[in-house]
Amino acid sequence: YGPASDLEITANELIKTRARINELLSEQTGQPLDRVERDTLRDYWLTAEEAVEYGLISRIVERRKDL
């Protein structure tokens, strides 16, 4: 695992990466950053319809021919 300083560096990088991903999700979905941060703290399951409402996907494809 390495010395504590290595773990601290890794933890800080993960925190920065998580913050950037949340910023991108907020920008792309139109959701407020605080909501994205809250929703990504733990597993957050959505139905297809909820994913459309959240802004994660643009539409639901029900049949292959609809692609």
Question: Which residue intervals of 1-67 are DSSP H helices?
Answer: 4-29, 33-39, 48-54
Which pLDDT score is estimated for 66?
87
**Most distant CA pair in the chain, distance:** 55
Tokens representing 7? 């773990």
Rounded distance between C-alpha atoms, residue 19 and residue 35, angstroms: 13
- What's the pLDDT tens digit per position in 16-65? 999 999 999 999 999 999 999 999 999 999 999 999 999 999 999 999 99
Tokens representing 24? 């991108």
Which pLDDT score is estimated for 17?
98
Domains of the chain: 4-66 (3.90.226.10)
**E strand or H helix that includes residue 47:** none
